[in-house]
Amino acid sequence: MFIAANWKMNLNKKSIKSFVEHLKIYKFSKNVQLCIFPPTIYIDFLSKLIKNIPISIGGQNCHHQSFGAFTGEISAISLKEFGCDYVILGHSERRIYNKETNEYIKKCAQFGIKSSLRPIICVGENLDQRENGKAIDFIEKQITDCLPEDFNELTIAYEPIWSIGTGKIPLQSEIREMHKNIKDIVFSKSKKNVKVLYGGSVNEQNIQEILSINNVDGVLVGGASLKIKDFLAIYGSAVKHLKNYNI
Ligand code: PEP
């Protein structure tokens, strides 16, 4: 079970320090892995603070070249050097605001893998596509076009755009269908298994329901990962869920 906390462009030194103070006294379970994706500028700061806490750290994006004249970009090699294990790629906000395409995301994922990072590739339909029955085909194309040529380990985050930050989540049956489909598509193309996280308005109230859906291997949490109380409540519910199901 994996919980990814995407802090986006939020928090500062003071709030991160206070967040970590609470983590220091928390008893973590081996069965639920945590990774925090802070703003790039705070990766080193956070990484030093959580040195003795079983939490991984990741980047919110990376470029597809090692180094060079790419103002404002972040190299996968630099992420790795500063202790990152994971990198989120193709988040819908980057697809929309930074015009990242599937082809671009695929190149970044390949370079991330080459740099020993574990990519989490985000896919997700908009409301119009969901309402017009086009979600499955749209996600199939996103996955086909973003899939790295070669990988040992890959995670896909299914994040319907209409669910991010809105408090609305898909029906259980819609999440079940999409996650199964994503696994089938990846397997048919690569003969490899993939982990699929659900992302979009995950909170303390809905986490148990989401985790009980087949083929949900964890969650990507945005807004609710910014407050320590909400974050630990989600984590605690995930641990409880595994205990209830004896997983
Ligand atoms: C996200 O942006 O990746 C996300 C899941 O956000 P939220 O949890 O706030 O919907």
Cβ within 8 Å of residue 29, ≥6 positions away: 239, 242
Mean pLDDT of the 49-72 span: 97
Find the catalytic residue in 64, 91, 179, 241. 91
Q: Give the structural domain span for 136.
A: 2-244
**AA letter at 65:** Q
pLDDT at 108: 98
CB 124 within 8 A of CB 159: yes
Q: What is the pLDDT of residue 199?
A: 98
Residue 178 has pLDDT above 80, yes or no: yes
pLDDT in tens, 218-230: 999 999 999 999 9
Report CA(200)–ligand 1 centroid distance (Å).
5
Report the atom number in ligand 1 closest to the C-alpha of 91: 3
| CATH number of the domain where residue 106 is located | 3.20.20.70
pLDDT above 70 as % of the chain: 99
Residue 247 has pLDDT above 90, yes or no: no
**What is the distance in A from the centroid of ligand 1 to the CA of 165?**
6
pLDDT of 103 higher than 90: yes
Lowest pLDDT segment from 27-31, 126-130, 158-162: 27-31
Q: pLDDT at position 184, please?
A: 97
- Taking CA atoms only, the protein residue closest to ligand 1 atom 2 is 222
For the Cβ of 202 lying below 6 angstroms from any atom of ligand 1, the answer is yes
Contacts 24+ apart (CB under 8 A), 181-187: 181/136, 181/139, 181/140, 182/123, 182/139, 182/143, 182/156, 182/158, 183/215, 185/140, 185/143, 185/144, 186/143, 186/147, 186/154, 186/156
Atom of ligand 1 nearest to the CA of 157: 3
Catalytic residue among 100, 125, 159, 241: 159
* Tally of domains within the chain: 1
Q: What is the pTM of this model?
A: 0.96
Decide if pLDDT at 24 tops 90. Answer: yes
Q: How many helices (H) and strands (E) does the chain have?
A: 10, 8
Q: Is 197 helix (H, G, I), strand (E, B) or coil?
A: strand
63 is catalytic: no
